[in-house]
Structure 1
């Protein structure tokens, strides 16, 4: 079942990308998924969004490491190829790039995942921290083609100022 985000956000999809129901495309833990119009070697590049409240003191690097471990538990071979903290003290973030060898729908693929972690504090209760994860997954061959779109997408993500509290 598709999840919901702990805090409302708004964003703009890159041209050509289209939203899909997470449950129907095999991403039940995602709150949102968008698909690229052209598949590569039978794999469709996708952008997923998920998130959760993190009442613990885990740092963004620790949370990113948890994500790597979940992929490894799903029988994927994962290598972190880049990781860097971004943002500011008030709006911290982390980017991470993974090289993944995985079997998807019975077919082996060399994939690349670009992950962005955003930490958002509740304006009324700064002890409530939400972490939003934005992820681009594509074949290694198609990654260069979709990365600019993902970066453009990430630049549009912001708290939904019009959402009711």
Structure 2
């Protein structure tokens, strides 16, 4: 069963991307998954979204990102942090990191790239709640440049959803 985000967000998917049920595409911990329309050699680029409550006093965004890398290393082995940089402002911090990894997907060993973006947000219904939303693009190394522009477009559309409290992630085409 897919997870829900701690606060509702809204976003717009780039043209051609389609939502997919997280459980059916092997991402049961994701709140949302979108698939690219053109697979590369049998691998479909994807965007996943998840998130959790955050205590900025107890851990930094870098700590959270380090935890993601360690979880990937435990399941895949070969994971390298190729770059990391802060985003946003003191009031609305973020962090981006680029990972290179080797994974067996569909019985085939693949060289993949993940772009992970961590966004700290406040719940618009309850500003005392702070969360971190993690947005991940996973692509083959060959697709990175072409699909990366779609991911940047997607990231620019992500925002807290001022709509009905308690709703899940928004989305659209």
TM-score (norm 1): 0.95
Between the aligned partners of 2:35 and 2:63, the Cα distance in structure 1 is 28
Seen in structure 2, the aligned counterparts of structure 1 residues 48 and 64 have a Cα distance that, compared at 3 Å, is same
Residue 7 of structure 1 corresponds to which residue in structure 2? Answer: 7
Distance in 1 of aligned mates of 2:12 and 2:77: 30
Counterpart contact for 2:9–2:158, Cα < 8 Å: yes
SS in structure 2 of the partner of residue 74 of structure 1: helix
Provide the rounded CA distance (Å) in 2 between the counterparts of 1:159 and 1:146.
Answer: 24
Q: Tell me which of the two structures has the higher relative contact order, counting C-alpha pairs closer than 8 angstroms and 6 or more residues apart.
A: 2
> Partner residue of 1:38?
38
Whole-angstrom distance in 1 between the partners of 2:33 and 2:77: 21
Aligned pair in 2 of structure 1 residues 150, 102: CA closer, same or farther (>3 Å)?
same
Partner Cα distance (1:11, 1:25) in 2: 21
Worse-superposed segment, 15-24 or 101-110 = 101-110
CA RMSD of aligned residues (A): 1.3
Q: Secondary structure at the match of 1:67?
A: helix
Compute the displacement of 1:125 (Å): 4.7
Contact 1:80 1:98 in 2 (8 A): yes
Query: Where in structure 2 are the equivalents of 1:147-158 lying within 5 Å?
Result: 147-158=148-159
Deviation at 1:93, TM superposition (A): 0.3
After superposition, the C-alpha distances for 1:50-103 in whole angstroms (9 at most, x for unaligned) are 001123611001100100000001023111111001101110000000011111
Partner of 1:159: 160
Pair 160,125 (structure 1): closer, same or farther in 2 beyond 3 Å: closer
Contact 2:123 2:160 (C-alpha < 8 Å) held by counterparts:
no
Question: For this pair of structures, how many residues does the alignment match?
Answer: 164
What is the TM-score normalised by the length of structure 2? 0.91
- TM superposition shift of 1:106: 1.9
Q: Equivalents in 2 of 1:20, 1:75: separation in Å?
A: 23
Corresponding position: 1:78 with 2:79 = yes
SS in 1 for 2:5: coil
8 Å contact kept, 1:76–1:103: no
